[in-house]
Amino acid sequence: MQYRILGKTGLSVSEIGFGGEWLERHDEAHSVELLRYAHNKGMNIVDCWMPDPKSRDIIGKAMEGCRDSWYVQGHVGSTWQNGQYVRTRDMNFVRPAFEDLLQRLRTDYIDLGMIHYIDSMEDWNTAMNGPFIEYVHELHEKGVIRHIGLSTHNPQIGKLAVQTGFIEMILFSINPAFDMRPATEDLDQMFGGYDDARFSGIDPDRAELYRMCEEKNVGITVMKGFFGGRLFDKAQSPFGVTFTPSQLIHYSLTRPGVASILCGFDTPEQVDAALAYETASAEEKDYASVLATAPLHAYRGQCTYCGHCKPCPMEIDIAMVNKLYDLAAAQKEVPQSVAAHYRALAHTASECIGCRGCEERCPFGVEVADRMERTAALFGV
């Protein structure tokens, strides 16, 4: 298992983590053993957005005796009312639900205290003004939550979260299909409507969010990386092609700012299928060729940092140079942090000899040599 630093939290998290929403579908013993199996394989981050007692009890029992080796994303604002999940900012429900989370997880702290599921501006304004956010800060000041995070499916809300300065990471929905869609306050809209021919490449709002997270060191953990399983089925895939778990995991992990993708599991075999990514070949991880040859929704002309351009005769890390160029070019002035990362590269864009061999290998038709010229001019080296 490989580990990555989750932004400014400084936590070293497994790049493949455990999304816990399917735990309640099985008997308790099965789900406890499944979590322990994943942990023994190297997973150390788990998301618990679920308010139901069964899911929380399962995670608590699975972590017994090894709590300190897990990083928990625990949500504030996810409540259980009359046997149903309810997202709310009403403190009459928020406080008892979070106290229940601590009790059932058998812990006195949550590593990543998540402001739960904000997708609309109305909800953002409610959550960020008044007793709800005061409670989040109170928990943080007391050390009950070690870091403040936020979960959203809306890149516009994600950008607001980054700009607060106190939100250290976000849980965000990422997959090749979602990345084409413009911001919306209605998550259900993200699962349909892909017959619109205008969807092509990464939506600017989402690309900007990834750039902001990378620049501001706000870490991202990924939800819905498999598009609810639809991308595994050619008939349901918006691209008209089938992807593998390794390809979709690699897609998420190559987005700027991403530290971990949290997958849902029913069986140990599904855990093994996800973890096969860690030993997969470059060909097995290759999402770019699938996207480039898909009959629907091309990503033409857009660098996805896939690495197909390798090898460079001058040993330039072209994908990283392109990523840093995109981070810098979106700003009025080149951010010092981005410039420092660029200048720390062993080989910079100015060393490009314009052979264009990389362009022959690029599945998206990116004019790499021209981008290298612009990058060298932008950074001055």
Per-residue pLDDT tens over the stretch 21-75: 888 888 999 999 999 999 999 999 999 999 999 999 999 999 999 999 999 999 9
pLDDT at 142: 98
Q: What is the three-class DSSP state of 349?
A: helix
Beta-carbon contacts of 256 under 8 Å, excluding residues fewer than 6 positions away, are 210, 211, 213, 214, 305, 323, 326, 327
pLDDT value of position 196: 66
Question: What pLDDT is stored for residue 365 in this prediction?
Answer: 85
Q: Residues in the chain with pLDDT < 70?
A: 196-198, 298
Q: Which residues contact 112 (CB under 8 A, 6 or more apart)?
A: 9, 11, 71, 72, 73, 74, 145, 146, 147, 149, 169
pLDDT of residue 292: 85
Domain 3-284 fold is TIM Barrel (3.20.20)
- Domain ranges within the chain, ordered by starting residue: 3-284, 318-379
